[in-house]
Amino acid sequence: MHRNSLLAGLVATTLAAIAVPAAAQDGAPIRIGEINHYKRLPAFAEPYRKGIEMAVEEINADGGVLGRPLEFVFRDDQGEPGEAIRIAQELMTREDTAMITGSILSNVGLAISSLAANREFVYLAAEPLADAVTWSQGNPWTFRLRPSTYMQAAMLAEQAAQDDAVTYATIAPNYAYGKDAVAAFKEVLTELKPEVEFVAEQWPALFGIDAGAEVQALERAKPDAIYNVTFGPDLAKFVREGTTRGLFEDRTVYGLLSGEPEYLEPLGAEAPEGWIVTGYPWYDFEDGPNAAFVEAFEARWNETPKNGSHVGYATALSIAAAIEKAGSTDSDAIRQAFEGLEVEIPAGTITYREIDNQATLGAWVGTTALRDGEGVMVDWEYKDGADFLPDDDTVRELRPSE
């Protein structure tokens, strides 16, 4: 089957598998509010938006949702929680949206989630990773697509437990995502390998890292290995300074998100080699839905996809599937439809778990290397997110009673 046909079939299968009879509609678009940091983080938000737009084009070409076209209303919050709340309220009350989605930064996602709970309005947290989104601050109206910090940290901890390293140093941005990512890595690795010791922690301000000082502090601790959670411009500064000062020599580095094209590509030939990371190796997909998605994305946008592109595409598919299953745009019907919802996306079948509203989307884990002067992931493997989630009893302890 041709790759584009395969991808079109995936969209049709996702909708048809859960389609239910719907009442006659007036043909007006079903509008979805999308809030993100397009001006503050364009390198990350724009590929995500293009993934959404491509999926919407395919969904509408296949008949839309409940016989109506799907439409996303994109709004920019500047990466500020207060602005995101203002926009979300406007989308809920004045823009006639059926639900809202979006956010990359976890602090913004948590703010939108709280509003969604208060207004009883469905929010699909597409990209924020902080564990609190579905656990300590979870609520019935918020669902998350991407694998959480705990899930991805657990994948790296599983790899680290097989290493000879005993002493670790960590570096992470000083906000919800970074705190959760370090706590999860410590928890899982200590459980798997009780003799490990964490000898240093560095907490630079988000997008305000003093890379020289951070590298010096980590080097003074003399760890066997390093766990890195910095991303974006902070990661670039950390990699360059650490490489210059020899911080990474004879040490294994574990990097959360560090293998994603959003972060590796800007480094070019300066990309680190030998780091064990989570990422998105689009360049190595040879067949199946993943390869079909890459081909279609390149054809549509004349550029290669990022991890955010895949997430955006899966976001639109998830929303379309939930509304089809709900059979209407009623908020409570959509909420109930998301619980236990199964969706076919390029990475495979994912499920939005009923117990915590967390999707089972996984991540690719591999080792960084240079190929033709560019950073890539090699020796990678897709890890199913369902295998890296705590059991139901643990989730009940983490999540507030509803």
Q: How large is the average pLDDT for residues 324-331?
A: 98
Mean pLDDT check: name the lowest of 102-106, 230-234, 397-401: 397-401
**pLDDT tens-digit readout, 20-70:** 443 334 689 999 999 999 999 998 999 999 999 999 999 999 999 999 999
Query: What's the predicted TM-score (pTM) here?
Result: 0.92
Q: How confident is the model at residue 6 (pLDDT cuts 50, 70, 90)?
A: low
CA distance 370 to 270: 9
Q: How large is the average pLDDT for residues 246-271?
A: 96
Query: Are 29 and 168 found together in one domain?
Result: no
Q: How confident is the model at residue 292 (pLDDT cuts 50, 70, 90)?
A: very high
Query: Are 314 and 342 found together in one domain?
Result: yes
CA distance 37 to 29: 25
- Is the torsion defined by CA of 15, 20, 26, 30 positive or negative? negative
- Going by C-alpha positions, the residue among 168, 167, 241 that lies closest to residue 204 is 241
Query: Are 166 and 191 found together in one domain?
Result: yes
Cα→Cα distances 164→13, 87, 159, 196, 293, Å: 46, 49, 11, 10, 38
Query: Are 376 and 238 found together in one domain?
Result: yes
Q: How confident is the model at residue 402 (pLDDT cuts 50, 70, 90)?
A: low
Query: What CATH number does residue 311 fall under?
Result: 3.40.50.2300
Please check the confidence at residue 72 and state whether its pLDDT lies above 70: yes
- Going by C-alpha positions, the residue among 215, 213, 217, 224 that lies closest to residue 254 is 224
Please check the confidence at residue 261 and state whether its pLDDT lies above 60: yes
Query: Are 256 and 130 found together in one domain?
Result: no
For 175, counting Cβ atoms within 10 Å of its Cβ (0-12 exposed, 13-18 middle, 19+ buried), the class is: middle
Note the pLDDT of residue 21: 40
Q: Angle, to 10 degrees, between the axis of helix 307-326 and the axis of helix 288-301? A: 110
Query: Are 141 and 44 found together in one domain?
Result: yes
% of the chain beyond a pLDDT of 70:
93
Domain count, the chain: 2
Cα→Cα distances 278→134, 248, 336, 380, Å: 21, 18, 32, 9
Token pair belonging to 114: 């709280």
Please check the confidence at residue 19 and state whether its pLDDT lies above 70: no
CA distance 336 to 291: 32
Query: Are 244 and 370 found together in one domain?
Result: yes
- Distance from CA of residue 98 to its chain's centroid? 22
Query: Are 68 and 212 found together in one domain?
Result: no
Query: Are 15 and 131 found together in one domain?
Result: yes
> Domain limits at 245?
150-284+364-398
Q: How large is the average pLDDT for residues 204-232?
A: 96
Note the pLDDT of residue 366: 98
**pLDDT tens-digit readout, 334-346:** 999 999 999 999 9
**Largest separation between any pair of C-alpha atoms in the chain:** 68
Q: Kindly provide the residue ranges of all beta strands, DSSP E only, lying in 265-362, ordered along the sequence.
A: 276-279, 342-345, 348-351
Note the pLDDT of residue 25: 46
Query: Are 261 and 347 found together in one domain?
Result: no
Query: Are 273 and 162 found together in one domain?
Result: yes
Query: Are 264 and 386 found together in one domain?
Result: yes
**pLDDT tens-digit readout, 112-145:** 999 999 999 999 999 999 999 999 999 999 999 9
Please check the confidence at residue 3 and state whether its pLDDT lies above 70: no
% of the chain beyond a pLDDT of 90:
91
Please check the confidence at residue 8 and state whether its pLDDT lies above 80: no
